[in-house]
Homo-oligomer: A and B are copies of this chain.
Amino acid sequence: MIDSTIGEKKLTHELARLVLSSQPEKDQAVMDAARAGVIDFLATSFAARDDEGVGKLWKIIESEGGHQVVPIIGQKRKASFLQAALLHGFIGHALDYDDVHSDVRGHPSTVILPALLSVAATSGLSGERFLASYIVGVEVMARLGLAIGAEHYNKGWHNTATLGTIAAGVAASYAEGHSIEQIKKVIGFAATQASGLRVQFGTETKPLHAGIAAQAGLLAVSLAEVNFGGTAYALDGKTGFFSVYGDLHQAERALLLDWGNPWKFADPGLWFKIYPFCSAAHHAADAARSLMTHHDILANEIEQVQIIFPPKGDSALVVHQPQTGEQGRFSVEYVVALALNGYTLTLNNFTAAPISEEINAFLPRIYRKYDEKIEPVPHAIPKGRFTIVEVEMKDGYVYRKRVDRPRGAPGNTLSQEDIHQKLEATVAFEQGRASELIKVVSKLKSEEDMKQLLTLL
């Protein structure tokens, strides 16, 4: 009937069919990986519980009103179905301490889990279905990332937001047990809301993108549930999602191949962050820390520091001279300056407070360089990436460290123990709460388990 979407019109349909046929709960290893993902997400969210932006969003939500049905992590308060997704998305991403996925070129859990927490709080979702929906959501988001290609991000889109809207919607649609026709429409309702510009990086709006995406995904689900009219072919054709935001031909090659075999959740898997800043600076952080551990480097004897990337390897690191620790989350200069001056790379150095004078004075000694001649190694994470930190001392001596796969990345991943410790550190404000959360998530299966988890948020 609608002739503008000529072509095969099969991507939307096939994606919905594969989603509906998914049974990740049969794969115990990926279910355990999902449990680790939930714990890491809780850790990053609890860490941001007092973030100033959260208070600002509460003001807007109070002014709107709404049925308070979804408990909000670390807030001892509830919000409505849609508002909770906005809040949780922001909270999970506020510190840039949440997981990333290299296929996504962005953050999957902080859009998918907020949508699923709202579903869980308002319907009888089992713990098993919650985890399975999370795995399906990450599968969708990773495949959208592969299908849309590097150019999408390079052009200026924030993949967490654009792809996350669809992934959050589909994950929630799967959780709700929607039909294939509903899933196809959810894809369309979500795709037509996909937005988020990288020009907001370095501001509070960057993490808000995750919340907006999660909320838009849930609006898509609500629209399908009231049988709202929408296209069942949103990804297809000359004016569909991939044609407008990416490249339809590339999408046709990459979107559906080998669905769930293995699950993208486990392979390449989520990258859990050990540092509370943008993952693109983790290589440099590991390199600088390694130099400090292995050599007697005194900051005041450093002449200059070169940080060497492959071309565009630093495009997420938009800040060169941060004024605050918050801005420093997107500044490789700040991260390296901290490490070389003996500061810890922990949350307390990435707050809204002004950066220290010592660090500020050190920043002009740091330079970025790009070297297209250096070959990335095959196991580099993300693909094609490396970072070299080269410290030139005043006496002419040069220390050099290259990192291709930082700590936390797939293949160099955090242990379960590391992730549990991350949660314990961020909920240290309440004795015993971390171990209760870990206990519930570790056995998460029934509807009762899910309810118990919600009461612990």
A66 within 8 A of B: yes
Measured between beta carbons, the chain B residues less than 8 angstroms from A408 are none
Q: How many copies does the complex hold?
A: 2
Residue of B nearest to A162 (CB): B195
Residue of B nearest to A60 (CB): B222
A268 within 8 A of B: no
Measured between beta carbons, the chain B residues less than 8 angstroms from A83 are 64
List residues of A (186-239) whose CB comes within 8 Å of B's CBs.
Answer: 188-189, 191-205, 208-209, 212, 219, 222-223, 226-231, 233-234, 237-239
Q: Which of B53, B81, B195 contacts A228 (CB 8 A)?
A: B53
A76 within 8 A of B: no
Measured between beta carbons, the chain B residues less than 8 angstroms from A315 are 4
Measured between beta carbons, the chain B residues less than 8 angstroms from A188 are 199-200, 205
Residue of B nearest to A161 (CB): B192
A253 within 8 A of B: no
Which of A42-50, A316-324, A383-391 is found at the contact surface with chain B? A316-324
Q: Which of B205, B219, B237 contacts A192 (CB 8 A)?
A: B205
Measured between beta carbons, the chain B residues less than 8 angstroms from A198 are 4, 239
Would A319 and B1 count as touching, CB distance under 8 A?
Answer: yes
Interface 1/0 per residue, A42-82 and B, CB below 8 Å: 00000000000100110110011111000000000000111
Measured between beta carbons, the chain B residues less than 8 angstroms from A64 are 66-67, 80-83
A358 within 8 A of B: no
Would A65 and B65 count as touching, CB distance under 8 A?
Answer: yes
CB contact under 8 A between A155 and B199, given known A2-B319, A192-B205: no
Interface 1/0 per residue, A1-44 and B, CB below 8 Å: 11111000000000000000000000000000000000000000
A241 within 8 A of B: yes
Min CB–CB distance A208 → chain B (angstroms):
7
A290 within 8 A of B: no
Q: Which of B2, B65, B222 contacts A202 (CB 8 A)?
A: B2
Q: Which of B200, B230, B237, B243 contacts A230 (CB 8 A)?
A: B200
By CB atoms of chain B within 10 A, which of A56, A193, A234, A241 has the most?
A193
Chain A interface category by residue count: 35 or more
Would A199 and B4 count as touching, CB distance under 8 A?
Answer: yes
Would A229 and B204 count as touching, CB distance under 8 A?
Answer: yes
Query: How far is it, in angstroms, between the C-alpha of A227 and the C-alpha of B352 when the chains are bound?
Result: 14
Measured between beta carbons, the chain B residues less than 8 angstroms from A59 are 226
Would B197 and A227 count as touching, CB distance under 8 A?
Answer: no
A177 within 8 A of B: no
Would A3 and B318 count as touching, CB distance under 8 A?
Answer: yes
Query: How far is it, in angstroms, between the C-alpha of A150 and the C-alpha of B53 when the chains are bound?
Result: 38
A240 within 8 A of B: yes
Residue of B nearest to A321 (CB): B1
Min CB–CB distance A333 → chain B (angstroms):
11
CB contact under 8 A between A231 and B203, given known A65-B66, A195-B192, A318-B3: yes
List residues of A (325-347) whose CB comes within 8 Å of B's CBs.
Answer: 327
Min CB–CB distance A368 → chain B (angstroms):
10
Would B1 and A231 count as touching, CB distance under 8 A?
Answer: no
Measured between beta carbons, the chain B residues less than 8 angstroms from A263 are none
A244 within 8 A of B: yes
A157 within 8 A of B: yes
Measured between beta carbons, the chain B residues less than 8 angstroms from A230 are 200, 203-205
> 3 tightest A-B contacts by CB?
A156-B239, A204-B229, A65-B67
Identify 25 residue pairs between A and B in the complex whose beta-carbon atoms are under 8 Å apart, listed by A's number.
A1-B319, A1-B323, A3-B319, A4-B201, A4-B315, A4-B318, A53-B229, A57-B226, A60-B223, A63-B81, A63-B222, A64-B80, A65-B65, A66-B66, A66-B80, A188-B205, A192-B196, A197-B239, A199-B237, A199-B240, A200-B230, A203-B231, A204-B229, A205-B230, A208-B228
- Interface residues, chain A, with chain B CB atoms under 8 Å away: 1-5, 53, 56-57, 59-60, 63-67, 80-83, 155-158, 161, 188-189, 191-205, 208-209, 212, 219, 222-223, 226-231, 233-234, 237-241, 243-244, 315, 318-323, 327
